[in-house]
Structures are given as C-alpha cells and as structure tokens.
Amino acid sequence: MESLHSNQNTGLMPYLVAISQILGIAVLAITGAWLSQYRGGFSWEGAQQFNVHPLCMVLGMVFLCGDALLVYRVFRNETKRATKILHGALHILALIISLVGIIAVFQFHSNSGIPHLYSLHSWLGIITFILYILQWIVGFLLFFVPGVAFTYRSRFKPVHEFFGLGLLLSAVATSLIGLTEKILFTLPNLYSKLPAEGILVNTLGLLLVAFGAVIAYILTREEWRRPPLPEEQALSMDFKTLTEGDSPTEP
Amino acid sequence: MESLHSNQNTGLMPYLVAISQILGIAVLAITGAWLSQYRGGFSWEGAQQFNVHPLCMVLGMVFLCGDALLVYRVFRNETKRATKILHGALHILALIISLVGIIAVFQFHSNSGIPHLYSLHSWLGIITFILYILQWIVGFLLFFVPGVAFTYRSRFKPVHEFFGLGLLLSAVATSLIGLTEKILFTLPNLYSKLPAEGILVNTLGLLLVAFGAVIAYILTREEWRRPPLPEEQALSMDFKTLTEGDSPTEP
C-alpha cells in the first residue's frame, strides 16, 4: 500500500500517456483526412452534413472523454479541486461536441428520408449517449455540488469510475460499427478488393481500439492512482477513522 | 485490506454472476435461433458453412472465455490448483471451438471466391485471436509449468488479467462489427425498415455488450477477488516477506 502514498511510482505511465496522445491525435487526423479526401469534406447542409457526425463523435466521445479520464493520473500534483475542474471542463467540451455530432446525423437522416435509429450502431450509440448524460448528472450532483457527504462520494466513486471507462469503450465499439456501416454503404462492391479507403478505415478502427486499450491500461493500474496530497491525506485519514466506527480522538 | 482475506464480502457478486450466465445463455440461444430460423441453419458444406462461424465465435471467444475469467471469483473456496485447471480447461474448449469457427469462415470464403481478411471485422478478429494464442502460450508457461519463480508469476499476473479481460471485450466488439456486416450483406435494403431479423440482431448485439460489461464489473471489483486459502496465505506471507527484502526468520 506504500506506493499509493508516493508520487514517484509511476513507472511506464508517462510513456503510455504519451502513446495515448499520439494515438488520439492520429485517430482525429485520419478521421478528418478520410472524410475530407474521400467523402467530400464537411458542411452543415446537404450530403456533407453526415461527415460532421463521425468527426464530432470521435473528437467528443472518444478523444476528449479519454483525456478527461486521464486528468487525475496526469495532473497528480495539482489540487483535487483543480483536477476536478479540468475533468469537468473536458467533459463539458465532449458533451457539446458530441451533441453537435448527434444533431448532424439526425438532421441528415431527416433531410435524406433515411429512418432514424434502426441499426445496431444507432442503438448502442444512443444508449451510450443517454448513459453518458446520466453519468454527467449524477457525477455533477455528487462530486461538484458542495456539501455532499463523503460517505456518498466514496461509495459512488468506484461505480463512477467503472461507468466512465465503460462508456469510453462503448463509444469506441460504437465507432467501429459506424465505420463498418459507412464503408459498406459507400463501397459495397469495392471494400472486399481492399482499396486505399478500406485500408484507411480499417487502420482507423484499429487505432481507436489501441487508444481505448492504452487508456484502460493506465486507469486500471491501482499503483498509478493519484495519491492524496499531504493536506488531503490528513482529511482522508480522519474520514477513514470516522467511517470505520472508531472515534477520531481515541489514541 | 481486511476484506481481501475474508470469504464473506462478496456483496452483489452472486447476483451479477447469475445475471452474466442468463445473458450468456440468451446470447447463445439468440445466435442459434437467428442462424437457424433466418439464415438456413448449419452445415459444413455450401452456404450454411458460414453460419458455423458466428455460433462458434460467440460460444468460444465470448461465452466460454467470459466464464473462464469468472472461475477464480466463483469457485473461491476450492484450491488454487483446482480453479487453475478449470480455468485452463474452459480456455482449451474456447480455443478449439473458436478455431473451428475461424476455419469455417476461411473455407466458406475460399469456396465462394470471397477474398480473405479485407474488413475491419476480420482485421480486429484475427489480431484478437493471435493475441489470444500468445496469451495462452505465455499463461501456460508461466502459471502451469511447475517451478516458475513466484516473482515472475506475480509480476506477470496483472498483465495476464488485463489482457484476459481486454481480449474478451475485443471479441465482443469484433462480434458487433460482424453482426453489422452480416445484416448489411443479407438485408441491404430492408435493414432500415427495422424487420424482425434486424431487431433480433440489434438485440443480440446489446446483450453481447451487457455480457461483457457485467463480467468486466465483477472482475474489476478488488474486494471480490478470490482470497488466498489459509494454507496459501501462510505461503504468500513468507513470499511477501522474502520479496520485500526482510529475512523471514526475523521476528
């Protein structure tokens, strides 16, 4: 347990964080390049409105959400308050950008006479987004609103962490299904001949998986958790004593 | 840390294990029903040979692999040796069954003149399967072969656990892409009208995600780990003392 209270034992973490950022930027660059080079670029009108959807979802629900989860590991020497605000700010950005992406695809479907929410991609995607909003509301009420009892916070924290990583991985899985849908809609007869666009989209899928895997690895290393700062530690020790039923004034 | 050494603190675990088994059996039943009712059933010859693929992969790489991961949590009062043998036996079954599933789709592609390994589904699937074989080899050498130093075992165990769960979730993601491919190949114009087969396949996808999520939740609760039995505990205490550099004979 010693390592939890030491700032030094981060091992491979800085390298893995760097790799996650390279993967995340590669994912965004390839998504942008694919949609602008092969799919006609971006617009809020006409057929190109669809292209706003994958770009916004990958940026919001994958890249920004992934980075929001890393905040407590990366900024381990900042105050809890500062890291919490950064975590919230990244999630506000992620929420707004992915909402734009969802509006884009709903408007595109309506304008093109395509039914809404018929595919596995759309079912998993909308469930992931609704759970993300619920996670936002519950997380905000419990961790941002002042005066919520420590007991509730510490009891809910493991569930909040599980859903955070779970929703990121669900967003990655939804993206993979979406990529497959899009390539089969646009190149139904050509995909099996492995054209350049097919290779690009498959590579994008694998990079998305790699991004999710590296973030999951970093977050599930218990020894890489942000250790409490000295002033927080005193508080959490008192709290531990209190919740375990002993009087904190006892020797 | 007390809870790690207590057999009692399993909380919701038995209920979640039951839910995972209901989800797993539902996934197998729906896969079987879908392929036999809508896709012509199973055969090792002709067009129906394809249908062997999804059934074997869902049974091997998802259901049996998932259950193999639960062994140490569920059979927490059996000896380490017995649980290890059960873990290995389930993984042998999973390996054989998924190998049959992979051979089925390669033979089907060859006989139908369809190129191999062009899609994101096939790329992610083959990478997952190769990593699964590597995990098998390394896991066997480290944990089954007698005489491997405790130091190697305990250092590699967290990586083995991460890859175990990671490969299960990757198999689930690969299945979701595969379901989407299959439904778009067979009902390209009908899928968007949400026919019964579309609803069945979408539901199957969501149940696969739920199965993976429940297993991931059970496995990531530190307090639900299998506690060492009294005789193992004595050994691991000695080992801990040894590795931490103190002499075990010191008071």
B239-251 confidence digits (pLDDT tens)? 544 444 443 333 3
- The percentage of chain A sitting over the pLDDT mark of 70, rounded to a whole number, equals 89
CA distance A163 to chain B (A): 9
User: pLDDT digits over A132-186, tens only?
Assistant: 999 999 999 999 999 888 899 999 999 999 999 999 999 999 999 999 999 999 9
Residue of B127, B162, B202 with shortest CB distance to A217: B162
**What distance in Å separates the CA atoms of residue B42 and residue B184, rounded to the nearest whole number?**
20
- Note the pLDDT of residue A8: 56
Measured between alpha carbons, how far is A79 from A29 in angstroms, rounded to an integer?
Answer: 33
| CA distance linking residue B223 with residue B5, whole number of Å | 9
Higher-pLDDT residue of A108 and B7 is A108
| Secondary structure of residue A96 in the 3-state scheme | helix
> Is B118 close to A192, i.e. CB distance below 8 A?
yes
Sketch out chain A's domains with CATH numbers. 12-243 (1.20.120.1770)
Q: How far apart are CA B62 and CA B160, in angstroms?
A: 17
What residues of B are in contact with residue A191 (Cβ under 8 Å)? 118-119
* pLDDT at position B159 over 80: yes
The alpha-carbon gap from A144 to the nearest alpha carbon of chain B, in Å, equals: 25
Closest residue of B to A221, CA-based? B158
Band (A123; pLDDT cuts 50, 70, 90) = very high
SS3 per-residue string spanning chain B: CHHHHCCCCCCCHHHHHHHHHHHHHHHHHHHHHHHHHCCCCCCCCHHHHHHHHHHHHHHHHHHHHHHHHHHHHHCCCCCHHHHHHHHHHHHHHHHHHHHHHHHHHHHHHHHHCCCCCCCHHHHHHHHHHHHHHHHHHHHHHHHHCCCCCHHHHHHHHHHHHHHHHHHHHHHHHHHHHHHHHHHHHHCCCCHHHCCHHHHHHHHHHHHHHHHHHHHHHHHHCHHHCCCCCHHHHHHHHHHHHHHCCCCCCCC
**pLDDT for the residue numbered A3:** 38
Q: Percent helix, strand and coil across chain A, each rounded to 5?
A: 80, 0, 20
Scanning A183-242 for CB atoms below 8 A from B yields 183-185, 188, 191-194, 198, 201-202, 205-206, 209, 213, 216-217, 220-222
Residue written as token pair 């990671």: B166
The per-residue pLDDT for B243 is: 46
pLDDT at B236: 53
Chain B segment 13-52 residues within 8 A of A by beta carbon are none
Q: Which pLDDT does position B241 carry in this prediction?
A: 47
pLDDT of residue B231: 74
For residues B99 and B61, what is the distance between their CA atoms, to the nearest angstrom? 10
Whether pLDDT at A244 is above 80 = no
The reported pLDDT for the residue numbered B150 is 87
Confidence of residue B156 (pLDDT cuts 50, 70, 90): very high
Residue recorded with tokens 């308050």: A81
- Residue B131 Cα distances to A96, A219, B67, angstroms: 37, 21, 19
How confident is the model at residue B9, as a pLDDT? Answer: 75
Give residue A230's pLDDT band: very low, low, confident or very high (50, 70, 90): confident
Indicate the range of A7-21, A108-122, B124-138, B237-251 predicted with least confidence. Answer: B237-251
The DSSP 8-state label assigned to residue A251 in this structure reads -
User: Cβ contact (<8 Å) for A205 and B124?
Assistant: yes
Residue B184, Cβ density class (10 Å: 0-12 exposed, 13-18 middle, ≥19 buried): middle
Name A146's Cβ contacts closer than 8 Å, sequence gap at least 6. Answer: none
In percent, the amount of chain A with pLDDT more than 90 equals: 82
pLDDT band per the 50, 70, 90 thresholds, residue A247: very low
Instruction: Identify the top-confidence range among A67-71, A223-227, B7-11.
Output: A67-71
Which chain A residues touch B171 with a CB distance below 8 Å? none
CA B11 distance to own-chain centroid: 23
What pLDDT, on the 0 to 100 scale, is given for residue A149? 87
Nearest to B19 by CA among B171, B164, B169, B211: B211
The reported pLDDT for the residue numbered B14 is: 97
- ipTM of the complex model: 0.91
Question: Residue A228 pLDDT > 90, yes or no?
Answer: no
Residue-level pLDDT at A248: 39
Task: State how far the Cα of A108 lies from the Cα of A90, in Å rounded to an integer.
Answer: 27
Are the beta carbons of B177 and A172 separated by less than 8 Å?
no
Tally DSSP H helices, then E strands, for chain A. 8, 0
Residue A250 pLDDT: 35
Taking one residue from A and the other from B, the number of pairs with CB-CB distance under 8 angstroms is 104
Residue bearing tokens 């299960």? B168
Is the pLDDT reported for residue B48 higher than 60? Answer: yes
Q: How many CB atoms lie within 10 A of CB B11?
A: 12
Give the pLDDT of residue A140: 96
Per-residue pLDDT, averaged over B137-163, amounts to 94
Q: Evaluate if residue B81 carries a pLDDT over 50.
A: yes
Nearest CA in chain A to B189: A185
Task: Kindly tell me if the per-residue pLDDT of A28 is higher than 90.
Answer: yes
Which segment of A224-228, B28-32, B201-205 scores lowest on mean pLDDT?
A: A224-228
Does residue A128 have a pLDDT over 50?
yes
Percentage of chain B surpassing pLDDT 70? Answer: 89
At residue A232, the pLDDT reads 78
Residue type, B69: L
Range 124-143 of A in CB contact (< 8 A) with B: 124, 127
Distance from CA of B180 to the nearest CA of A (A): 7
The confidence score (pLDDT) of residue B245 equals 42
Q: Search chain A and give the residue with CA nearest B179.
A: A120
